């Protein structure tokens, strides 16, 4: 009785919205749209109907990852149809997060565990769909026909130019990933670069890459929490690329205060990170925030650009330049999705069905969120003024584009 009622409600919704979405039930029955189907959903059991009774994007993503439903079709069309399917959801784009401070979320052990859950899934898996330098952050496209490899190298160079790197300077990369930035900066700008990470697999990989590239003495990687960085030998320049999303809203003062202390007077920091476009720092509604927290980035928290700028200023860092890269990240993510789709069978053998499904739906959903302007990403260049209050930085941005 309940089963037929839910099916009836779902069929009414499909007819009302007139979506090009086909549905196949576990018993072979099908609901076909009036228009040609772009995506087909296969419901694998009566229990899976709960995701469709009152659908949210989070429920649909969870049902897909847990293999309660199957999705067949282009991933871009899939997430666009998912948004249309919940078009009458009254929750809005954002949901206010709880003010209750969960102290255990961003302790050192919790952060290490969260990073390892996301990154220590096998270097070979990421190699399937990342660029040749394995840069797991927003690329920088300068023309319509840029390849992912080219766009990521352009991003690395863009960061180095923003930091105005000079030969012999000491540079730190907080959350160095697979080492692309520190090795690029050492090779092309003559700096001595240190990268830190909490991922054992990244650490092992970067150490081997440094050795095989002959960059020992110019590059170093450490398995270390940013809070444990010694402050006795400060850096000329600091980069943080795709890491501060893991810091946690309440830890932002600690994070930026640490950066201030490890910078020399006159030093620069470039913080590259994802932000929410909610002025209240709300997480994405329709169950998206809960899904990402459970399956992808445990403890990840996004804040509005205004909060980032405010916290940096409170800790003594003077903002010098801010650049929005939102369209660049949407394109980067869609390129990752395309490359993963091409190597889907290889990915399944490496990480299994559940993790493959997680990354497929997560990256496509993230690309859609950037396209829609629900979330954004900014590169913020700031400095620690010298005793005289000055920052030795070029007067114009010409050096970025020479």
93 within domain boundaries: no
Do 61 and 107 belong to one domain? no
Please check whether residues 110 and 52 belong to one and the same domain: no
State pLDDT tens for residues 172-197: 999 999 999 999 999 999 999 999 99
Q: Could you tell me what percent of the chain has a pLDDT over 90?
A: 69
| Tokens linked to 194 | 């240190």
Are 113 and 75 within one domain? no
Mean pLDDT over 37-44 rounds to 89
Residue written as token pair 């666009």: 80
In angstroms, the CA 192 to CA 309 distance is: 28
Residue 97 lies in a domain: no
Q: What is the mean pLDDT of residues 237-255?
A: 94
**pLDDT tens profile 280-298:** 988 888 888 899 888 888 8
Whether 115 and 146 map to the same domain: the answer is yes
> Per-residue pLDDT for 100 more than 70?
no
Number of C-beta neighbours around residue 120 at 10 A: 15
**Banded pLDDT at 97 (limits 50, 70, 90):** confident
Average pLDDT value for the chain: 91
**248 conformational bin, left if phi > 0, alpha if psi -120 to 50, beta if neither:** left
**Strand positions, DSSP E, 51-150:** 69-73, 94-95
Instruction: Please say whether the beta carbons of 384 and 256 come within 8 A.
Output: no
Where does a domain end: 21, 53, 85? 85
Give CA 24 to chain center in angstroms. 33
Q: Edge-to-edge strand order for the sheet containing 375-383?
A: 219-223, 192-197, 170-174, 235-241, 263-276, 375-383, 318-324
Q: What pLDDT sits at residue 91?
A: 61
For residues 217, 220, 222 and 225, what is the CA-based torsion angle, rounded to 10 degrees?
120
Do 386 and 295 lie in a common domain?
A: yes
User: Percentage of residues in the chain with pLDDT exceeding 70?
Assistant: 95
Q: Please give the pLDDT value at position 172.
A: 98
Residues 347 and 267 in one domain: yes
In a domain, 166, yes or no: yes
Both 42 and 119 in a single domain?
no
pLDDT of residue 105: 67
Tokens at 380, concatenated = 């913020």
Which of 85, 114, 137 is the last residue before a domain boundary?
85
Same domain for 258 and 118: yes
CATH number at residue 218: 3.40.50.150
Q: Higher model confidence: residue 239 or residue 6?
A: 239
The H-assigned helical ranges of 163-283 are: 180-189, 200-212, 252-262
Higher pLDDT: 8 or 136? It is: 136
Asked whether residue 114 falls in the same domain as residue 228, the answer is: yes
Residues in contact with 323: Cβ distance below 8 Å, sequence separation at least 6, in sequence order: 378, 379
- Do 60 and 116 lie in one domain? The reply is no
Is 145 contained in some domain?
A: yes
Distances (CA, A) of 313 to 114, 270, 304, 324: 28, 14, 15, 19
Residue 91 in domain: no
Is 94 inside a domain boundary? no
Let me know the angle formed at the C-alpha of 187 by 130 and 318, rounded to the nearest 5 degrees. Answer: 85
Supply 391's token pair.
């920052």
Q: Tokens in use for 104? A: 């255990």
Q: Is residue 200 part of a domain?
A: yes
- What CA–CA distance (Å, rounded) separates 265 from 273? 24
Tell if the pTM clears 0.85, that is, is over it: yes
pLDDT tier, 217 (very low <50, low <70, confident <90, very high otherwise): very high
Q: What pLDDT digit, counting tens, does each position of 304-328 carry?
A: 999 999 999 999 999 999 999 999 9
Cα gap 206→202, rounded to integer Å: 6
Domain count, the chain: 2
CATH number at residue 63: 3.30.1050.10
Break the chain down into helix, strand, coil percent, rounded to 5.
Answer: 50, 20, 35
Q: What is the pLDDT of residue 98?
A: 61
- 316 and 249 together in one domain: yes
Residue 98 placed within a domain:
no
Tell me which of 26, 59, 85 is where a domain ends. Answer: 85
Task: Note whether 265 and 180 are same-domain residues.
Answer: yes
Q: Are 311 and 256 in contact (CB under 8 A)?
A: yes
117 has pLDDT over 90: no
Flag whether pLDDT at 104 surpasses 60: no
Q: Which domain holds residue 57?
A: 2-85
* pLDDT (0 to 100) of residue 103: 52
């Amino acid at each position: 009785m309940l089963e037929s009622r839910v099916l009836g409600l779902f069929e009414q919704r499909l007819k009302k919205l007139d979506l090009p979405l086909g549905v196949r039930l576990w018993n072979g029955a099908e609901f076909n749209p009036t228009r040609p189907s772009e995506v087909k959903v296969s419901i694998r059991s009566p229990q899976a109907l709960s995701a469709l009774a009152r659908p949210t994007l989070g429920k649909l993503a969870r049902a897909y990852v847990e293999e309660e439903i199957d999705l067949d079709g282009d991933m871009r069309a899939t997430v666009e149809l998912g948004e249309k399917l919940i078009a009458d959801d009254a929750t809005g784009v954002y949901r206010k997060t709880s003010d209750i401070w969960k102290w255990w979320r961003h302790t050192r052990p919790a952060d290490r565990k969260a990073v390892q859950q996301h990154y220590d899934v096998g270097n070979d898996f990421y190699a399937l769909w990342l660029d040749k330098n394995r840069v797991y952050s927003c690329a920088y496209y300068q023309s319509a026909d840029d390849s992912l490899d080219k766009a990521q190298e352009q991003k690395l160079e863009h960061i180095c130019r923003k930091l105005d790197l000079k030969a012999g300077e000491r540079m730190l990369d907080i959350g160095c990933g697979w080492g692309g930035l520190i090795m690029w900066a050492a090779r092309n700008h003559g700096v001595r670069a240190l990268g830190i990470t909490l991922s054992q697999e990244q650490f092992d990989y970067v150490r081997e890459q440094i050795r095989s590239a002959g960059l020992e003495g110019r590059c170093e990687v450490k398995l270390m929490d940013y809070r444990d960085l010694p402050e006795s030998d400060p850096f000329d320049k600091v980069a943080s690329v795709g890491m501060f999303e893991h810091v946690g809203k309440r830890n932002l003062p600690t994070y930026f205060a640490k950066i201030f202390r490890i910078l020399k007077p006159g030093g620069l920091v470039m913080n590259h990170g994802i932000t929410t476009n909610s002025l209240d720092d709300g997480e994405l509604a329709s169950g998206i925030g809960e899904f990402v927290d459970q399956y992808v980035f445990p403890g990840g928290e996004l804040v509005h650009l205004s909060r980032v700028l405010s916290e940096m200023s409170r800790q003594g860092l003077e903002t010098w330049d801010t650049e929005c890269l939102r369209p660049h990240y949407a394109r980067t993510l869609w390129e990752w999705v395309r490359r993963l789709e091409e190597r889907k069978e290889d990915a399944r053998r490496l990480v299994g069905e559940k993790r493959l499904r997680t990354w497929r739906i997560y990256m496509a959903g993230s690309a859609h969120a950037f396209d829609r302007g629900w979330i954004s990403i900014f590169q913020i260049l700031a400095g620690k003024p010298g005793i005289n209050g000055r920052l030795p930085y070029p007067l114009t941005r010409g050096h970025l584009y020479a």
